[in-house]
Amino acid sequence: MYITIPTSQTEKNSISSLFDHVEIKSKKPIEAHVLSSVETNRVKWYHVNPDSKFPIYIHSLKCYNEKEFIYSIKTKIRDEGNLNEKKLLMLSLLCFMETEKDIPEAIHDSATIITNMPNLNNDIGQFVKEIILMLCDKFVDDELLNTRIVNKVGGNMKVVEDYADRVAERKINEKNEALVIKLRKKGFKIEEIAETADVSRDFVEKILTKVEA
């Protein structure tokens, strides 16, 4: 659970009421988990008010070995087919674990594993991809590697958009071509076909030349 630490008394009162409501509604104690690249494993307590507090569990990424973690992830994917949100988030942060690789290489590993993962939930999948893109922008200076990582996680949206536009245009042209041929078979003249199908005279003539040749 992620929260914004309140500063004013009004905000504190609102947060206090919110947590009391959530705790009663869920019938479970409130807790928060933080993945840290700096701090050690420990628990902090956040006091909402004098009578209400909840634990913040800090999980140190430095306590994980990158090779061992990747092996466990691949085994879990093979056996179960998916990962929970915590594992996915940790996977996007391989570069902060204990590793022999430099940060750019570890970020590339994260991108490769995540993009090859089957049944990746769209929302959390997009979120971890955005984390990788942010890390890539901050830590990967090599332009070739940077581009490779960005393309892996789908960051090159211009290419994707151009492809989608080409597919859409091709489908429209195919539909218009079928209509031109159909109208011609019914005896329509070129001007009438162009007006009815809402296409140019050149388009009609090009189609008819190909069909009637």
Residue 127 corresponds to which tokens in the numbers above? 């979120």
- Give the separation between CA 86 and CA 13, rounded to whole angstroms: 30
The DSSP H or E segment spanning 77 is helix 66-80
- Give the separation between CA 189 and CA 191, rounded to whole angstroms: 6
Could you read off the pLDDT of 35-77 as tens digits, one per residue? 888 888 888 887 777 777 778 888 888 888 999 999 988 888 7
Q: Which pLDDT score, from 0 to 100, does residue 123 have?
A: 67
- Give the separation between CA 146 and CA 136, rounded to whole angstroms: 6
Q: What number is the average pLDDT over the span 183-196?
A: 91
More confident: 19 or 207: 207
| Sheet with 52-60, edge to edge strand ranges | 32-36, 52-60, 42-49
Question: What are the backbone angles phi and psi of residue 58, rounded to the nearest 5°?
Answer: -100, 120
- Whole-model pTM: value is 0.53
Longest dimension (CA), the chain: 88
